[in-house]
Every structure is written in C-alpha cells, then in structure tokens.
Amino acid sequence: FMNWDELAANAQRGMHRVADIHEHWAKLGRFRAAHPAVGAGMHQMIAANPYTFKRTWQQGGVSDRVVVALDLPKDKAVPIQVAGVFNDGQTVREWYSGQSAVVTEGKVQFAAPAPVALIAQD
C-alpha cells in the first residue's frame, strides 16, 4: 500500500507531513546509492556530540569516503569535524541540503542548518 494521495497533498500524519518524510528518506537513499562507503564501508566515530562518524571503503582500485553527522541543532549551523577524511582547502558537499563548503582547520560548516549532514567530496 502506498499512500499516493497523501503524498501528493503532503498530508499531515501525526507531527509530520507525508511528502516531507518521503523527501527525507529519498535524500538518504540518493546519498547511499552514490556512496558505497555508506553501506559497505568501515565505520569509525569522529566526535560524540554531535555524533559524527566516517565511513571509508576501498575495493578493486575504487575508494569512497563520507562523513555523517546526526542530531544537529535545528536552529543554528555548527562546525563539523572532518579531519583525517577531507583536507584543509578541499571543497565538500553536504548532500542533505545541497550546500558546498571548504574545509578549514579540519572542520566544515554549512550556511543553513539541517537535521543531518551527509558529507562527501564535491
């Protein structure tokens, strides 16, 4: 069963809207599809608060690396640690919001806050 009518109307379900939830999961799915490190990579925590981790993957001469930060504040943008994954001066993309930023002093900060950060090389 797919609630196509509710999706088209962005109907309210509890505290959330159906199309908003669909878009959230679609963003996560697109990021995973583009980055094999998400599903097959090695997981290592970078920071406890906000919970930030890297996933790295390498196979057959192909490699991928991403940084994910969860439970970010909804009201302000915060710096996210990416040292050891991305280098200073490197441009990275945050896939949830579509923003890009340059790594500075091992951290990256995006202009608009998002609930999660899905970071990969731009």
Q: Please report the pLDDT score of residue 1 as a whole number.
A: 66
106 C-beta neighbours (distance < 10 Å), count: 16
Q: Are 72 and 41 found together in one domain?
A: yes
Q: Are 77 and 29 found together in one domain?
A: no
Q: Are 113 and 75 found together in one domain?
A: yes
Q: Are 4 and 56 found together in one domain?
A: no
Q: Please report the pLDDT score of residue 13 as a whole number.
A: 78
Q: Please report the pLDDT score of residue 98 as a whole number.
A: 94
**Claim: this prediction has a pTM higher than 0.75:** yes
Q: Please report the pLDDT score of residue 5 as a whole number.
A: 82
Q: Please state the domain count of the chain.
A: 2
In order along its 122 residues, the chain shows pLDDT tens digits of 677 787 788 777 788 777 888 888 899 999 999 999 999 999 999 999 999 999 999 999 999 999 999 999 988 889 999 999 999 999 999 999 999 999 999 999 998 878 899 999 98
Q: Are 63 and 81 found together in one domain?
A: yes
Q: Please report the pLDDT score of residue 111 as a whole number.
A: 86
**Token digits of residue 56:** 């790295």
Q: Are 3 and 13 found together in one domain?
A: yes
Q: Are 56 and 109 found together in one domain?
A: yes
Q: Are 96 and 55 found together in one domain?
A: yes
Residue 40 sits in a domain whose CATH number is: 2.60.40.1180
Q: Are 70 and 25 found together in one domain?
A: no
Q: Are 99 and 45 found together in one domain?
A: yes
Beta-strand pair 91-94/117-121 = antiparallel
DSSP assignments along 59-88, one per residue: ETTEEEEEEEE-S--SSS---EE-TTTS-T
- What residue numbers bound the domain in which 21 lies? 1-34
Q: Are 25 and 47 found together in one domain?
A: no
Q: Are 61 and 109 found together in one domain?
A: yes
